[in-house]
Structure 1
Amino acid sequence: MMGPRQEAQPALLYEFSLEDHVPQGHLLRSIDRFVDLSGIRAFLADFYSHTGRPSVDPELLIRMLLVGYCFGIRSERRLCEEVHLNLAYRWFCRLDLSDRVPDHSTFSKNRHGRFRDSELLRHLFQTTVARCIEEGLVSGQRMAVDASLIEADANKQNSTPKDDWDAGQIDPADAPRAVREYLDTLDEAAFGAASEVQPKFTSHSDPASQWTAARKGPAFFSYSDNYLIDTDHGVILDVETTRSIRQAEVGSTKTMLTRVKDKFGLIPSWMIADTAYGSGPMLGWLVDRKIDPYIPVIDKAGRPDGTWIRTDFDWDAENGQYICPEGHALKQFRRNYSDPNRGPTGKGTAKYRALKLTCQACPSKPRCCPNADARSITREEHEDARQVARDLAKTDEYVIAMKLRKKVEMLFAYLKRILGLGRLRLRGPCGVNDEFLLAATAQNLRKLAKIFPAPQQLRKT
């Protein structure tokens, strides 16, 4: 028999508990166990006035932002609607059924003001990293670094060729916020000072973004999201925002390693990265700090004519010379200089040469220097560090390191596919940095929730 039509019957009083209506296995229950915002009010105390109307609770705003980034809700307007309707979101944000959800404009006001001035989002991210360390997810022994391009909120139609762009003619007082931030980063190593090469196009709405075709497809404006992770469980230890060029991305590694050392006292034994980080200065910086670089070396010593390359010659560190396969010495200097300025400087590159008479009489000359009177080899300043990386590449640990490197690539795939950060919503270096920090915080919280899920409780009958 068909039952009666279901109709909502208004009641005078309701007995309702959010705690009872949020499933015990909901992701937010597990995340909530690792979110510690007790110190936020004290952290922001100096950025609030002692008079005027009471503000929206900053803890509520942070909890709402975490909901948005954990569940891929990119729009703050939509986030407010979802928190208004979703019981689990209300429970996580400590909102009762009758509590009003803040307006979306409140986020912009706080983000551009006290949140950014106090570096609250960096503090929130580092608090999450500290919790991961406390839970035993980070050993600090093996770390990996990589960068990923994230499309900026800019397009070519609203851009200018580099020849028509002159930053010196911009009045900072009349410029939009993103342009002012661009002017402030002209001397920073992660942006303006990273390279003297100017991009082909400059965006009017976000001039700090980089015009790039690194994906071998249509060019677009982008920023680089740089991750430093611990390979034990793929915990993100640090985040840095840079231009989408190799010099800036590689330089951010030093910044992140230094920051992690100062904040958490972590110094890795292994550093794992791809070939982009295999330059001599980068390898030298790591080796000087007793960090083993499991990084493919950028080596352009190959010769197209098939003759012997530099690695075919043995380096004699004790005597400061190369030894060719025939046993002859290639030296930089063959006499002592009374003037030290004319001798070896120890900086830059050095050229080592064999004697002309020796090469002319050598039976292997066609395989060594068929078109030259004598063989010469150029040695870079950080060649010792490059050789350390080459030797590590021959070990069994290197195979393990290359497998571990995929963990950071998986984090970027998760960031774009699951969390929806394939295109930025905020503009300017500061806005982009806020997005990257919140996304990394969400990824670490979801990692904690996955490894340590909330215990299941039996419902009362």
Structure 2
Amino acid sequence: MMGERQVDQAALFYEFSIERHVPQDHLLRAIDRFVDLSEVRRDLAPFYSSTGRPSIDPELLIRMLLVGYCFGVRSERRLCEEVHLNLAYRWFCRLGLDGDVPDHSTFSKNRHGRFRDSDLLRKLFETVVRRCMAEGLVGGDGFAVDASLIRADANRQRSADGTDEVDWEELAATRRSVREYLDTLDDAAWGAASETRPKFVSRSDPAAQWTGAHKGHAFFAYATNYLIDLDHAVIVDVEPSRAIRQAEVGAARTMVERAQDRFGLWPERLAADSAYGSAEMLAWLVHDRGIEPHIPVFDKSARTDGTFSRSDFPYDHDRDLYTCPAGNELRPRQRVYRTSAPLVDDDGMMRYRASKFDCDACSLKPQCCPNAPARKIPRSIHEGARDMARDIAKTDAYTASRRERKKVEMLFAHLKRILRLDRLSLRGPCGARDEFLLAATAQNLRKLAKMVPAPSPIPA
């Protein structure tokens, strides 16, 4: 039969347990097992006054930020509304039913002050990485590195031409992002990465790079750089940089060094794409860090005009010379001068030259150097590391590394499609760093929740 009509009658007492209304298979229940905020108060204690009114609990702010980044809630104003209404969010934030949700402006106040001064978000990320290591998700034998572009909170209409003179000191007096830009002009991942002026510079966020790397409409962007372990695709380190290749290579070095210093991880191999295959990067990996580069060599020596390429000239390591297809030798010097020029130029390249006498009498000259009196072969001082990378590229281990390297690209897809971090909400290098750290922390927490099963409940 039909049930009775429901009548809204206020009761004097209610018995309600928020614990019973959060499903056992909810993502936040799985994540909560790995959230360790025991050091937050100790790290932030020097940045609070000993007098005045009690502040908002910093652990509450961190938990709310984790909720936002785990579930793709990009607006902090929207996040406060969701935490106020959602029982699972309230349970995770330890608010109960009657706990007050802080105002959205509290996040900005703490982010620009205590959180950045104490480097709290970096410490939170590293705490989660150590938990991944304790759970056996980080092998430490093979790493992969890559970068992905994230749109900045800047637009073309309010930008200046790269050749225009802009009084950045005046803008820095009122804009935090401009002050951060001026502070990073000498950093390898920012201003010092390249002296080339971009076509446009944003007045609101000048550290963002104008780029057309996606082969479509150009836009202002930052690069988020991931260093991951190849066993379970755990993000070992994350670093923001300008959206250019030189800055991304510099960020990769920083992450490898920091992983070794902070976690004691010394990988045997590093997988990456050809953007990281420059001679300097390969030499740094091989000679300075002892890491096998499973990286395609960045090489533009192949010719398409029908003449011989550099690969047609075998190199003799013992005699330090090249041999041309006709059997003649190319040496760094063909004659002895009273005052000899340096063998290595400013770009770290040596020139191996053939004898003009040999080239004039050679029948292969039209296929070798038709427009030059003699053939010259440039060789980098780091060519030994490049040769090692070429030899590794012929092995089965290299093929496996190239296949496993796709895991970092899947993390970037997850970052943009699931966590919805396809455009930054914060400006400046510090804002990009905060967002990338929180997003990587959320991805590692979701990885822990997926890979580490919950303990079985003990029967009564």
- State the TM-score bracket (shorter-chain normalisation): over 0.9
Match of residue 15 from structure 1: 15
Quickly say closer, same or farther: Cα 1:171–1:320, change in 2 above 3 A: same
Q: Distance in 2 between matches of 1:198 and 1:144?
A: 30
Match of residue 184 from structure 1: 183
Structure 1 runs of 4+ aligned residues shifted over 6 Å read: 336-339
SS of residue matched to 2:228: strand
Quickly say closer, same or farther: Cα 1:146–1:343, change in 2 above 3 A: closer
Q: Distance in 1 between matches of 2:197 and 2:382?
A: 28
Instruction: Tell me, yes or no, if structure 1 residue 294 matches structure 2 residue 294.
Output: yes
Give the TM-score, by structure 2 length: 0.95
Match of residue 153 from structure 1: 153
Match of residue 100 from structure 1: 100
Contact 1:165/1:202 (8 A) holds in 2: no
Task: Show CA shifts across 1:123-144 (max 9, x none).
Answer: 0001111111111111111111
Contact 1:29/1:454 (8 A) holds in 2: no
Residue 338 of structure 1 and its aligned partner are, at CA, apart by 7.7
Q: Distance in 1 between matches of 2:337 and 2:345?
A: 15
Match of residue 271 from structure 2: 272
Q: Distance in 2 between matches of 1:218 and 1:346?
A: 38
Amino acid at match of 1:404: E
Contact 1:315/1:322 (8 A) holds in 2: yes
Instruction: Tell me, yes or no, if structure 1 residue 396 matches structure 2 residue 403.
Output: no
Match of residue 281 from structure 1: 280
Match of residue 203 from structure 1: 202
Aligned residues: 458
Residue 454 of structure 1 and its aligned partner are, at CA, apart by 2.5
SS of residue matched to 2:246: helix
Q: Distance in 2 between matches of 1:214 and 1:359?
A: 43
Give the TM-score, by structure 1 length: 0.95
Instruction: Tell me, yes or no, if structure 1 residue 305 matches structure 2 residue 274.
Output: no
Match of residue 358 from structure 2: 358
Gaps of 5+ in 1: none
Task: Show CA shifts across 1:283-311 (max 9, x none).
Answer: 11111122111111121112222222111
The farther-off stretch of 369-378 and 421-430 is 369-378
SS of residue matched to 1:287: helix
Q: Distance in 2 between matches of 1:424 and 1:346?
A: 42
Q: Distance in 2 between matches of 1:212 and 1:369?
A: 37
Q: Distance in 2 between matches of 1:307 and 1:285?
A: 33
SS of residue matched to 2:236: strand
Match of residue 319 from structure 1: 319
The farther-off stretch of 325-334 and 360-369 is 360-369
Contact 1:24/1:457 (8 A) holds in 2: no
Contact 1:25/1:454 (8 A) holds in 2: no
Q: After superposition, where does 1:38-437 map in structure 2 within 5 Å?
A: 38-167=38-167, 169-170=169-170, 172=172, 174-288=173-287, 289-334=289-334, 342=341, 344-345=343-344, 348-437=348-437
Contact 2:344/2:350 (8 A) holds in 1: no
Identity level (%) = 65
Task: Show CA shifts across 1:342-388 (max 9, x none).
Answer: 46459721111122333334444343334434322111222111111
**RMSD between superposed Cα atoms in Å:** 1.9
Q: Distance in 1 between matches of 2:67 and 2:376?
A: 62
Q: Distance in 2 between matches of 1:156 and 1:242?
A: 20
Gaps of 5+ in 2: none
Contact 2:277/2:296 (8 A) holds in 1: yes
SS of residue matched to 1:193: helix
Q: Distance in 1 between matches of 2:215 and 2:345?
A: 40
Amino acid at match of 2:264: G
The farther-off stretch of 430-439 and 273-282 is 273-282
The farther-off stretch of 348-357 and 160-169 is 160-169
Amino acid at match of 1:85: L
The farther-off stretch of 430-439 and 363-372 is 363-372
Amino acid at match of 1:163: T
Q: Distance in 1 between matches of 2:365 and 2:236?
A: 53
Q: Distance in 2 between matches of 1:459 and 1:28?
A: 23
Amino acid at match of 2:427: R
Q: Distance in 2 between matches of 1:326 and 1:164?
A: 54
SS of residue matched to 2:352: strand
Q: Distance in 2 between matches of 1:12 and 1:124?
A: 43
